[in-house]
Chain A
Amino acid sequence: MRMSSFFFTIGQGFKSLKRNRWYTLASVATISACLFLFGVFYSIVTNFQHVVKTAEEGVSVTVFFNEGTTEDIILATKALVEKRPEVRQVVYVSAQEAWEGFKEDYLGEYADGFTENPLEDSANLQIYLSDVSMQPALVTYLESLSDIRLVNKSEVTASTLVGVNSLIAYISLGIIAILLLVSIFLISNTVTIGISVRKEEINIMKYIGATDFFVRAPFVIEGIIIGIIGSIIPLFIIYIIYNKTAVYIAERFAMLNSILDILPVGTIFEALVPISVLIGVGIGFLGSVATVRKHLHV
């Protein structure tokens, strides 16, 4: 292909956007609408997952040891537990630290009456999980170890979080399926309009001896540009809405700040930008190929 033909083809793609401005607008609007819905949904789900993850990270299993168990044995147990894949972190709390914590939390100045540590046998391991759904398996394992007196766990919290996680997964799948169907419907309608607009033009090109590549290339370039524009617009809108919403939630629900920790927009956009642009370009590319394909056999 000559360089002049190459630039001509690219130029035709850009010119075509202007020539068929209504089709361009309709296509950009369709892609933007789909990606806007996707972006909003993605932001909500990602934040929700973040909240659940934060809650999960706070869930711990506490292991107490038999009377007289030495610190060496406790630390050996700690090393053993740390090797398990579902375990994120193990914190050793000595009897002294347990007593100090108790005093601070519950006794305050009344603690002065105690001369000895009443929690002498309360040295424990606090185990934090990377996957809260694995808590029952971990508890079974811990209970099978020697020197262990008690395993404290919150079954309700763990099972609630596991339930919320599965609920998010199901809702995500459902909404993605609906979005996908809506997108396919909207895009196929737009492509149908495109076909009726372009049918004659494609026929003329074919009659005068244009190759399939020559006919297709400007349409594909046009489709990709539409896809890029169609993905940038919703990203821009989401950026503004997201920031405003984050500020609103932080101010209005200040007391829930520890639970409702909204992710910074940068974190959301790290993945949302490439995904949206990729989907936009993909839709534009496939839409344009589908538009042209039917009419190439003239």
Chain B
Amino acid sequence: MEKVLRKKKAQRSAYDDDIITLDNVTKSYAVGKPALNGVTLHIKKGEFVFIVGDSGSGKSTLIKLLLRELVPSEGTITVMGHDLGRMRHRNIPKFRRNLGIVFQDFRLLKDRNVYENVAFAQRIIQKSSREIRKNVPSILATVGLAGKYKSKVTQLSGGEQQRVALARAMVNKPTILLADEPTGNLDPGNSWDIMKLMEQINENGTTVIVVTHNREIVNAMHKRVITMKKGVVIYDEEEGEYHDEDE
């Protein structure tokens, strides 16, 4: 009993410090070399982290592991105190509600309007209609889309669609925001707007992890940069910069 309590206490103290821990994580698929190979990482609560690297470096696999879409072949991943490798399927939805997720291709429900897309995230966590009517306009105002709540998402520009995705990711006030190439489909102006919104979200206490190829943004923002290559972390620098593949 005492042993269990000590373990739980240790887990809690680790969670107080590191919100995400990867301990010697390897992810192999049926064929080819491992997508991640013995990666160890610690991300603290409230950090803003860029993950960079070329195609095939293992960034997408890392995101999928953090979302618990995949499980590691070896090693352990702990997110907010949850060992993702041991997490049961039925507990995944509850876990994901603590994550805000933004994708390069926005992944909005195209047949619904802006309000419905954001409200949907609140419906999932069974917020009352009254709360939804209060929270959705508020988050849409934060991302600058208060006037477009009735628009179909297909009528919006790429930058606006990404703001909707960001609003949907943030409306449930997640602990961690995961963004997979959030500026990949945007022009420089919109890219900066999105990054500033993310910085603002981070300043409010949310841990932000951004996977990107955007050298200009990474170099300008002076945040922690984790560089990956062929499934391993080759650089992990505070206020780092974008490294070329051959560096």
Q: A: which residues have CB within 8 A of B?
A: 1-2, 4-5, 8, 19, 200-201, 203-212, 214, 297-298
Assess the B120–A209 pair: CB atoms within 8 A: no
Bound together, the chains give a CA A1 to CA B123 distance in angstroms of: 11
What are 7 A-B pairs with beta-carbon distances under 8 A?
A4-B128, A203-B107, A208-B120, A208-B121, A209-B94, A210-B93, A298-B69
Residues of B contacting A201 in the complex (Cβ-Cβ under 8 angstroms): 109
Is B10 interfacial (CB-CB < 8 Å)?
no
Instruction: Report whether A1 and B126 are in contact in the complex, using a CB–CB cutoff of 8 Å.
Output: yes
Q: Across the interface, do A8 and B123 meet the contact criterion of CB distance under 8 Å?
A: yes
CB-based nearest B residue for A4: B129
The chain A residue with its CB closest to the CB of B171 is A208
* Bound Cα distance A212, B124 (Å): 11
Contact of A211 among B93, B121, B128, B168 (CB under 8 A): B93
Of A200, A210, A298, which is within 8 A of B124 by CB?
Answer: A210
A5 to chain B, nearest CB (A): 5
In the complex formed, the residue of A with least CB distance to B130 is: A4
Taking CB atoms, residues of chain A closer than 8 Å to B120 are 205, 208
Name the distance in Å between B129's Cβ and chain A's nearest Cβ: 5
**Chain B interfacial positions (CB closer than 8 Å to A):** 67, 69, 89-90, 93-97, 99, 101, 107-109, 111, 120-121, 123-126, 128-129, 168-169, 172
Residues A209 and B96 in contact in the complex (CB < 8 Å), given A1-B126, A214-B124:
yes
Q: In the assembled complex, which residues on chain A have CB atoms less than 8 Å from the CB atom of B96?
A: 206-209
Bound Cα distance from A297 to B67, whole angstroms: 12
A2 touches B124 (CB 8 A): no
What's the minimum C-beta distance from A10 to chain B, rounded to whole angstroms? 13
Q: Which residue of B lies closest to A20 (CB)?
A: B111
Report B-chain residues with C-beta under 8 Å of the C-beta of A210: 93, 124
- In the complex, the answer to whether A209 meets B107 with C-beta atoms within 8 Å is no
Contacting residues, chain B, for A8 (C-beta < 8 A): 123
A residues less than 8 Å from B123 (CB atoms):
5, 8
* Chain B nearest CB, measured from A82 CB (Å): 65
The docked-state distance in angstroms from the alpha carbon of A207 to that of B84 is: 15
